[in-house]
Structure 1
Amino acid sequence: MPQGGFRRSGLEWFSSLPACLLLLAVVLFSTSSDIHNQMLRAGEQLWSGYYKLRMDPVQPECDLDRDIEAEVARELAEQAPADDPMAALLGAHEKDPREVRLAIERSVADCRAAHASYEDLQDKLTPGVKAYRAVELFVADLIAFGLTAQRYVLVILVMLCAVTATLTRHHIAMRAMETRLDYTVSYTLQTIANAMLLGSSVIFRQSSLASSTTVSGEELLLHNFWIVGFACLTLASLYRLFRVSDNLAPGGNLNQAFLSVPLYTVMCLISGTYFALIGHSSGIGIYLGKMMELADMFLNVGLYVWVGMMLKQTRLATLVFNIFRPWRMPPEMLAVVAVLVAAVPTAYTGASGIFVIAAGAVIYSELRAAGARRHLALAATAMSGSLGVVLRPCLLVVVIAYLNREVTTDELFGWGIWVFVLTATLFAMVALTVNRQSQFDLAPAADAFPASIQALRPLIPYVIVIAAVVLFYRLALDVKMDEFSAPRLLPVIMLAILVYEHISLKNGRGRASGEINHQGLERSVRGATNDTTAEIGALLLLLGLSVSIGGVIERSHIMETFPQAFDSPWSAMLLMVVILVILGMIMDAFGAVILVTATVATIAYSSGIHPVHFWMVTLVAFELGYLSPPVALNHLLTRQVVGEAEVLAAQQEGGTFYQRHERIIMPLIAMGISLILVAFVPLLFYAN
């Protein structure tokens, strides 16, 4: 959780208000294309031929009163004499008067049709058409501006949120800053890394200007945005370095201090040093620039984080858990239910790490409130996003299909259902057998079932609100809820839910019942955006530097040391599993997918591994990597959202070796067995 005082002060909107406006602009730009399509259809239905009325008709310049006889005579008179030797040499022939007349008559007819069409369009161009056209063309211009502005919005959002994360000590690291030495080491290296990013961006700009190719004004502006952003980030870390917090313990251990360095800093120092040594100092800037090629994807990541933070402000999680409370489930069974239920929203938030950031705190608090021990609650929180990444409409799967023409989203999502069933079953078996530490004493069905049905009633208005938004988009804008429309629909759905709660709980019934401490619409949106700002800064900066690490792996030609094809798909799959798990340990999902597409995927295809099978293995291997030490990104994100105190309290609990490390071991067992089965069992059916 944030430890600085910046977000608690009255200046909290200084960063979150612009971030909120930028995210709303992204939703508006993406929705405006749907609105424009419907406006074009409506215009055509209201005024036949509206497509021609979108611009003022131009009066034809041809002459309606042409004398056909005179034109024929002139054409025949202009032809070369029959005895001209040059005309004979060039193959000229005497014109047929009938053909000349026919051509001129057709030309006159076309002219009359053009004039008639012009007059018809002039008659149709009523004040109503002009007013409608003005609005429609404004929306069209808004779409064009939105498409152009996507890259600038992304840069501003990343830099704004990264500065906020730096000031609030919210970057993702192996451990939190606890001592003054931790603080000094962390912010010193952050300042060096940020200065390295600034220098690389400046060098990239200068090399672009010095190149033979012409740099457009838009590209130059983008360079300037990166430079200004990294300059601000460097100043923010430098400010923090000399403005030491008062809540730090004196002293410290140097080894532990290095663990407090944010992961993006480590990645920047590694990639920056490598590029400097090979004489390619602009390397980091170049690979960060590649983020712009997928600007819409990274903006969707920001939207998904915002959706999750708004979810934290609602009653939904509590109301869903209320359905299962009457059954008095043991903690292990409740953890299984929580992970399975979380699979659906995970599919709508793009990747497991995003979901852990977005909803991890809610899941952890609800499990703890239901009596789950800390280790179990932490394990379930870290794994809450691991099962749903293979389900429709997960953004990560859409990116895979976008980058790899060998697979389609339908194929991946079709097999993803079976992978989900497998991983869910194995997780349930591990949680209820290996992990079982409680007695299974469920409440009688006669008592629990009616209470669960009763607990469903408060969810009905939420279902109605969600259905109303989805139906509005479907009927009014012809947009159905799928993997492509989810990023722009979900923020609207969550805002609608917050509005509903604001209206329904305004009279204090919710607070009186003790179900929620609702503080109003403005505070809910502000609180969600405050959390979103720091989380986006931590996540997107880490993602961008993951792309840079991918560039190091790509330029160092490490993958070329491996065979480019294997005789046996079994041996190829074994190598793929090892590489993919390692990539999952050190890179975020989207950056790893980009790297795998450029390197490992072609080796797998050449070795006889089916593309759909390979990417299913990739997704499961990544999830295992995110749960595996030494980095264990999902566990780091879990600690970030639930608080360092809860993790330390869990580590101090006694018991057997398994019980003391349950939060790490349990997910590894479930996902490890799943990976082995997903990787090698299908080979039995198609490998030679």
Structure 2
Amino acid sequence: MAMLILILLGLFAISVPIALALGMASLPYLIERGIPLIAVPQVVFESLDSFTLMALPLYVLAGRLMQFGGIAERLVDLAKALLSWVRGGLAAAVVLTSMLFATISGSSAATAAAVGSMLIPEMEKQKYPRPFSAATTAASGELGVIIPPSVAMIIYGVTTGVSITEMFIAGFLPGLMIGLSLIATVILMSMVMGYGERQPFQHGPYLRRVGTAAARASLSLFLPVIILGGIFGGIFTATEAAVVAVVYAIFLSVVVYREISLRDMPRIFASAAVTSAVVMIIVAFAAMFGFALHLMRAPQMIGGLLSTLTDNPLIFLLLVNVFLIGVGMFMETFAAIIILGPILAPIAASYGIHPVHFGMIMIVNLAVGMVTPPVGVNLFIACGIAKISMEQLMRPLAVFLAVLIGNLMLITYVPGISLALLR
């Protein structure tokens, strides 16, 4: 197993794409074991032959339609209207908009890109420093994989057999807690550092602004109600909900808001297809890597190693968190879930840890990896929009990372945060 991991890390080091690295690292071991190479395409295609996994490209498409169809813009306006009166209100609106966008997009990168492209320039006009604006966008973007519906939850459920509906339910309170803590953080930082401008609070004008923005966004806000209400009400599955989301987003964007014409649809569909294809290729070749690890009995070996280190579930969770934070710094989130989920989930179960709770620990932990250098996807997106270097981002980002890790510890050691709504 050590040789397999070393080959994989070596391929990462020379910048081989993640999907190819996962496939290439597996081949030598499969050949050595005498596994016919015909097994490779069988494993790859079997991993994609999943009704549940069909939800992934559909949620990606719904997010794209939201971004270009005026839905996201209306959610931004509502968040700004609600919070513009407080110092740091626009930064808090970035977090609130990310929370709203996450209820449809299911993607951290899509959330950071959509919200950042609209609000980072606006924050600059209101005299927020660019590094602070970019750090706020990157950190709040991680909510895209924590607040349901989440593509990461879908992948975790597919690879470990955990109910995706239960994962969605479990994501509500952790997502709300992280979002509110980030809002409190940006407001406090803005007050201390004097960032941003604020409008004087006047009861009548404030209510009119909020009422106007809420009316414009009412149909947009109905989209997450349809998706999540339908899933939790047992009306349709997570995959069927994704279809409903796409149909409703097209209806709003093309018929109601008229922000997208029929001529724009091929471009938007193509963009969603490319993004989905990248993720699907990683899923497919990560399944091949997982097949090799299964033949090596990697879960049993790692479980045996951990049992010699500790029989205390609290210490086990601490070790897992330290390990996953390290993994998240260097490995793409979906690949990490596909490779490590089937290995670590059974071990966690042997320690008496609820599988849904452990799934939330994994997802939140790896979501933090999206905002940690050197491979944090959200950091590259935010730096690109703000036109700053990664080094300029580090000082304000450190505060957000401390808040995120504090939330991770609470989610890890207070299972009720994840499981309360399941009871």
The match for 1:386 is 142
The verdict on how the C-alpha distance between 1:409 and 1:660 changes in structure 2, with shifts beyond 3 A counting, is closer
Instruction: Say if 2:343 is the partner of 1:599.
Output: yes
Matches of 2:164 and 2:61, distance apart in 1: 25
Q: CA deviation at 1:603?
A: 1.5
Instruction: Say if 2:184 is the partner of 1:444.
Output: no
Maintained 8 Å contact 2:66/2:249:
yes
Identical columns (%)? 20
The verdict on how the C-alpha distance between 1:375 and 1:278 changes in structure 2, with shifts beyond 3 A counting, is farther
1:51-62 matches, within 5 Å, as none
Maintained 8 Å contact 1:288/1:547:
yes
The match for 1:421 is 176
Deviation per CA, 1:450-482, whole angstroms, max 9, x where unpaired?
223233343346568x69x969x99xxx98466
Matches of 2:57 and 2:351, distance apart in 1: 37
Q: CA deviation at 1:375?
A: 2.9
The match for 1:567 is 311
Matches of 1:585 and 1:631, distance apart in 2: 6
Match for 2:287: what amino acid? V
Maintained 8 Å contact 1:479/1:485:
no
Q: CA deviation at 1:302?
A: 1.1
Match of 1:456 among 214, 224, 239: 214
The match for 1:541 is 281
Matches of 2:301 and 2:234, distance apart in 1: 47
Higher share in helix: 2
Match of 1:305 among 60, 76, 80: 60
Maintained 8 Å contact 1:331/1:367:
no
The match for 2:74 is 319
Match for 1:495: what amino acid? I
Question: Which blocks of at least 5 consecutive residues in structure 2 are unaligned?
Answer: 1-12, 417-423
Maintained 8 Å contact 1:427/1:670:
yes
Instruction: Say if 2:115 is the partner of 1:363.
Output: yes
Deviation per CA, 1:309-347, whole angstroms, max 9, x where unpaired?
222221222222223445646795433333333234424
Q: CA deviation at 1:497?
A: 1.3
The normalised TM-score by structure 1 is: 0.49
Q: CA deviation at 1:650?
A: 0.7
Maintained 8 Å contact 1:416/1:616:
yes
Q: CA deviation at 1:396?
A: 4.4
Q: CA deviation at 1:663?
A: 6.8
1:110-189 matches, within 5 Å, as none
Deviation per CA, 1:189-230, whole angstroms, max 9, x where unpaired?
xxxxxxxxxxxxxxxxxxxxxxxxxxxxxxxxxxxxxxxxxx
Q: CA deviation at 1:546?
A: 2.8
User: What's the RMSD between the two structures over aligned residues?
Assistant: 4.0
The verdict on how the C-alpha distance between 1:391 and 1:631 changes in structure 2, with shifts beyond 3 A counting, is closer
Maintained 8 Å contact 1:347/1:391:
yes
Q: CA deviation at 1:425?
A: 3.3
The verdict on how the C-alpha distance between 1:426 and 1:551 changes in structure 2, with shifts beyond 3 A counting, is farther
Question: Which blocks of at least 5 consecutive residues in structure 1 are unaligned?
Answer: 1-256, 506-517, 684-688
Q: CA deviation at 1:363?
A: 0.9
The verdict on how the C-alpha distance between 1:364 and 1:411 changes in structure 2, with shifts beyond 3 A counting, is closer
SS, match of residue 123 in structure 2: coil
Deviation per CA, 1:240-290, whole angstroms, max 9, x where unpaired?
xxxxxxxxxxxxxxxxx955x533343344334554555547364343133
Match for 1:573: what amino acid? L
Instruction: Say if 2:267 is the partner of 1:527.
Output: yes
The verdict on how the C-alpha distance between 1:664 and 1:277 changes in structure 2, with shifts beyond 3 A counting, is farther
Maintained 8 Å contact 1:274/1:552:
yes
Q: Which structure: larger Rg?
A: 1
The match for 1:483 is 238
SS, match of residue 567 in structure 1: coil
The verdict on how the C-alpha distance between 1:368 and 1:586 changes in structure 2, with shifts beyond 3 A counting, is closer
Matches of 1:673 and 1:365, distance apart in 2: 28
SS, match of residue 301 in structure 1: helix
The verdict on how the C-alpha distance between 1:461 and 1:483 changes in structure 2, with shifts beyond 3 A counting, is closer
1:243-262 matches, within 5 Å, as 258-259=14-15, 261-262=16-17
The verdict on how the C-alpha distance between 1:470 and 1:317 changes in structure 2, with shifts beyond 3 A counting, is closer
Match for 2:112: what amino acid? G
Matches of 2:169 and 2:226, distance apart in 1: 23
Q: CA deviation at 1:489?
A: 0.2
Q: CA deviation at 1:496?
A: 0.5
Matches of 2:27 and 2:120, distance apart in 1: 43
Match for 2:214: what amino acid? L
Match for 2:200: what amino acid? P
